[in-house]
Amino acid sequence: MKKITAKRLIATLVAATSMVAVVGCGAQDSAAQVQASETQQDTAKEEEAAPAAEEAQQKEVTVIRYAYRSPGLWPTAGEDDQGNPTGYDIEVLKIVDEALDDIEFEFIPTSYDDCYVGLEAGNFDAADTNAFYTPERAEQYYLTEENIGQTVLYLVVSKENADIKSFEDLYDRGKQLAPIKAGNGMYYVAEAYNDAHPDKALELRTTDDDTYVGGGIEELLAGKYDASIWTKNKFDATTLAEDGELHNLLGDISYTAFDVAKTYPVFSRSVDYEIVKKISDAIGEVKKSGKASELAQEFYGYDIFDLSTVN
């Protein structure tokens, strides 16, 4: 048997120690690798979860319960043959709905009165009544900055005053405009004219008669005043239509599409104004794109934004 010298023993011990050190480092490296792998897996899971959380957040949709007057508002709003909500205003808002991922409209038909009662009671978030601007309405509700449409207004005079086709003509001829229902949007159309033409301002009179808006044709022909304002829709239905109740007076009058009253969706003040602003901006884009004019031609038969297209 060979003797183990002290020098050889030392060498053996050094080698053994080195092996232990190598094994120990290997174990440490392995543990670090495991920990790094676990960290990478956690990071990957977080990265995978982030889009899902973002997508869930994006899917949070605000539903706007949008009441509209039906019947009585066609072609501004109403239903098609299958009972689906449609009409000019409704179709504009459907485009807005598609453009805004976080807003959805639920269209609800109801009466004119219930539109406003429902807004006050919290049953609806918004209402469509072909509403004109009035200071009182703007104070009580939110109106979009962008008007959604326009109602064409006729100036109606007797046949002998057929050359009167504007407020300015009315002033120049020294003629009198019929009283307008107090608080009605048409009053503010006339007031806006006066503000813009202080040197030719008309004398404006009001009435509290709820059945009296801008003047009756019978009273005009009786000489109680010289001109009255009518919305095109109402004039067409009552006077131009062959079955209209005033059609027999058509031959005694003259009428001109002379101005428009801008119309707005009316929102409850419980709705976040940022949502109202988003909707307003989107309505502006629909008008800017020309699609609103196309829809107006489809539903009204003329472009409500261009008086030259009105027959």
Check which CATH number belongs to the domain holding 206 and give it.
3.40.190.10
My answer on whether 168 and 197 are in the same domain is yes
- Whole-angstrom Cα distance, residue 6 to residue 298? 109
Can you give the pLDDT at residue 184? 86
My answer on whether 134 and 188 are in the same domain is no
- Tell whether 41 is covered by a domain: no
My answer on whether 113 and 212 are in the same domain is no
- Whole-angstrom Cα distance, residue 34 to residue 70? 69
Cis ω before 109 (30° cut-off from 0): no
Can you give the pLDDT at residue 216? 87
Q: At what angle do helices 291-300 and 273-289 cross, to 10 degrees?
A: 80
My answer on whether 141 and 287 are in the same domain is yes
My answer on whether 163 and 177 are in the same domain is yes
- Tell whether 2 is covered by a domain: no
My answer on whether 273 and 235 are in the same domain is no
My answer on whether 85 and 138 are in the same domain is yes
Can you give the pLDDT at residue 10? 43
Can you give the pLDDT at residue 169? 98
Give the global pTM: 0.77
By the 8 A CB rule, do 257 and 307 touch? yes
Q: Tell me the residue type at 301.
A: G
My answer on whether 160 and 255 are in the same domain is yes
Q: What is the pLDDT along the chain (311 residues), one digit of tens a residue?
A: 333 444 344 444 444 444 444 444 454 555 555 455 555 655 555 566 556 555 545 569 999 999 999 998 999 999 999 999 999 999 999 999 999 999 999 999 999 999 999 999 999 999 999 999 999 999 999 999 999 999 999 999 999 999 999 999 999 999 999 999 888 889 999 999 999 999 999 999 998 887 666 778 999 999 999 999 999 988 998 999 999 999 999 999 999 999 999 999 999 999 999 999 999 999 999 999 999 999 999 999 999 999 999 97
- Whole-angstrom Cα distance, residue 3 to residue 25? 33
My answer on whether 201 and 76 are in the same domain is no
Q: How far is CA 243 from its chain centroid?
A: 35
- Tell whether 30 is covered by a domain: no
First to last CA, the chain: 128
- Tell whether 8 is covered by a domain: no
My answer on whether 210 and 76 are in the same domain is no
Exposed / middle / buried, residue 129 (Cβ in 10 Å: 0-12, 13-18, 19+): buried
My answer on whether 145 and 270 are in the same domain is yes
- Tell whether 17 is covered by a domain: no
Can you give the pLDDT at residue 304? 95
Q: How far is CA 303 from its chain centroid?
A: 18
- Tell whether 200 is covered by a domain: yes
- Tell whether 79 is covered by a domain: yes
- Whole-angstrom Cα distance, residue 43 to residue 66? 45
Write down which residue in 227, 246, 261 finishes a domain: 261
Domain count, the chain: 2
Q: For the chain, where are the alpha helices, taking DSSP H only?
A: 6-58, 88-99, 112-121, 135-140, 167-172, 185-196, 217-221, 232-235, 273-289, 291-300
- Whole-angstrom Cα distance, residue 178 to residue 209? 13
- Tell whether 31 is covered by a domain: no
- Whole-angstrom Cα distance, residue 2 to residue 21? 29
My answer on whether 188 and 211 are in the same domain is yes
Question: What domain range is 291 assigned to?
Answer: 62-149+264-306
Can you give the pLDDT at residue 44? 56
